[in-house]
Amino acid sequence: MLIIGGAGFIGVNAAHSFAAQGWRVSLFDNLSRHGAQSNLDWLRQRHNVGFAKGDIRDREALDKIFAERPYDAVLHLAAQVAVTTSVVNPREDFEINAMGTLNVLEAARQHCPQASLLFASTNKVYGKLEELQVVERSGRYAYAEQENGVSETQSLDFHSPYGCSKGAADQYVVDYSRIYGMNGTAFRQSCIYGPRQFGVEDQGWLAWFAIAALLDKKLTIYGDGKQVRDVLHVGDLIRAYALVIEQPDKARGQAFNIGGGPRHTLSLLDLIALLEQRLGRKIAPGFGDWRAGDQKVYVSDISKLEQMLGWTPQIDVAQGVGRLIEWVKENRALFA
C-alpha cells in the first residue's frame, strides 16, 4: 500500500492501522504540515514502513515511488488543506490539489492501474447549500427538512479555491474509473478528528479547540457557536477505507459522503461544554464575526456508504473526544 500524504493526521493513523493488519506500507509526503515529522517518527517507532520525502507536484518523484513495486492500494491524502490559505494563494492550492491529484492518477495509471485508489475529497464540493432551510433547535442549528443530512445527489457547487481544486480532483478520480477502468473512489469527508491531529485555527477545529483549551491558548469562535457539524473519529474513517479496498467492485468509480452522520454531530458550543466537563473547569472563548462561506449546518447523509459497503460509525462523540483529549494531554510538549 502507498499512502500519499502519509505523515499527516489521517495518513499516519491509516498507516498504523494497515501496518498492524500486516500490510506492507510505504509513505510519500513532503512533510510540509506542522507535526508531520513528529507523526512519521511516532510511526517508525512502531512499524517498519517505507518513506520517501517528495512533493506531488513533482512528477519524477511520484514516478520513482510508484515504480518501486506494484501497489494493491493507494490512499491519496496529500493536500493543501485550508480554505483560508487557498484564498490567499489560489495558484499554489490548484497546483497541489488539482494538478497534484492528476499527477497521482497518471502515475497510478502507468504503474498500478488496477490498484484501489482512494481519494480524500471533502464535503466542500457541495458549496454553501443556501437552498437548505436552517432552523434553530435547543441552542443549535439544524436542517429544517433534511433529517438524514446531505446526500451524494446534492448538486456539486464549488466555493473557494479549495472547493474548486478538491472538487476538480474528486471528479478526475471518479472519471478515471469510467474512462480508464481504474478502481478510484472519492470519499467526501466531513469533519474528521482524532489523535495525531495537529489542528490549527484554520483547519482541524475539533483538535484545535482541544489543544487550545488544554494549553490555555486564545480560542475564538467565529459566529455564534451554534453552528453544527457531523464529526467522525479517524478510527471509523479508516475502517471505511479498508472496506473500499476489500470491495473494489462496489466502490469503483463511486463518490461517497462520509462523516459521523446525523447521530454524531457537535455544535461549537457543545464542544466547549464537553471540554469543560472533561477538564473540570470553565473555558472562556472569544467571539468573532462569521467566516465568509461558513455554513450554519453541515451533516453528511452516510446511507449510501452504509448500504453499499456495510459501514457505520461506531465511536461515539464523547468517547472519541475523550481519546483526543488524552492524546493532547500526553503530548503537551508538541504544541508548546
Residue 264 binds ligand NAD (CB under 6 A): no
DSSP string, 7-73: TSHHHHHHHHHHHHTT---EEEE---STTHHHHHHHHHTT---EEEE--TT-HHHHHHHHHSS--SE
Residue among 136 and 294 whose Cβ is closer to ligand NAD? 294
Count residues contacting ligand NAD (CB under 6 A)?
28
- Which residues, 6 or more positions from 257, have their beta carbon under 8 angstroms from its beta carbon? 123, 149, 150, 151, 152, 188, 190, 300, 301, 302, 304, 305
Kindly indicate which of the ranges 4-12, 143-151, 250-258, 328-336 contains the residues binding ligand NAD, using the contact rule CB under 6 A. 4-12
Short-list 202, 192, 196, CA closest to 38 = 196
Residue 25 binds ligand NAD (CB under 6 A): no
Amino acid at 268: L
Among 122, 165, 185, 265, binds ligand NAD (CB under 6 A): 122
> Per residue in 29-67, is it b (16+ CB within 10 Å) or e — as a string?
bbbebebbebbbebbeeeeebebbebbbeebebbeebbe
DSSP code of 289? P
The kind and range of the H/E element at 329 are helix 317-330
Is-contact 118 78, C-beta < 8 A?
no
Give the separation between CA 325 and CA 84, rounded to whole angstroms.
Answer: 26
Active site (annotated) includes residue 162: yes
Q: Among residue numbers 65 through 84, which ones bind ligand NAD (CB under 6 A)?
A: 77-81
Residue among 143 and 208 whose Cβ is closer to ligand NAD? 208
Which position among 162, 172, 176, 193 bears the catalytic label? 162
Residues in the chain: 336
Per-residue x/- mask for ligand NAD, residues 48 to 67, rule CB under 6 A? -------xxx----------
Residue 29 binds ligand NAD (CB under 6 A): yes
Residue among 280 and 294 whose Cβ is closer to ligand NAD? 294
Among 30, 101, 103, 185, binds ligand NAD (CB under 6 A): 30
Residue 11 binds ligand NAD (CB under 6 A): yes
Is-contact 207 193, C-beta < 8 A?
yes
Q: Among residue numbers 190 through 229, which ones bind ligand NAD (CB under 6 A)?
A: 191-192, 204
Give the separation between CA 3 and CA 39, rounded to whole angstroms.
Answer: 14
- R_g of the chain computed on alpha carbons: 19
Among 17, 74, 100, 298, binds ligand NAD (CB under 6 A): 100
Residue among 11 and 262 whose Cβ is closer to ligand NAD? 11
Residue 93 binds ligand NAD (CB under 6 A): no
Least distance (Å) between residue 13 CB and ligand NAD:
8
Among 1, 2, 3, 8, binds ligand NAD (CB under 6 A): 8
Least distance (Å) between residue 144 CB and ligand NAD:
25
Residues that bind ligand NAD (CB under 6 A): 5, 7-11, 29-33, 36, 55-57, 77-81, 96, 100, 120, 122, 189, 191-192, 204
Q: Could you give the residue numbers annotated as active site?
A: 162
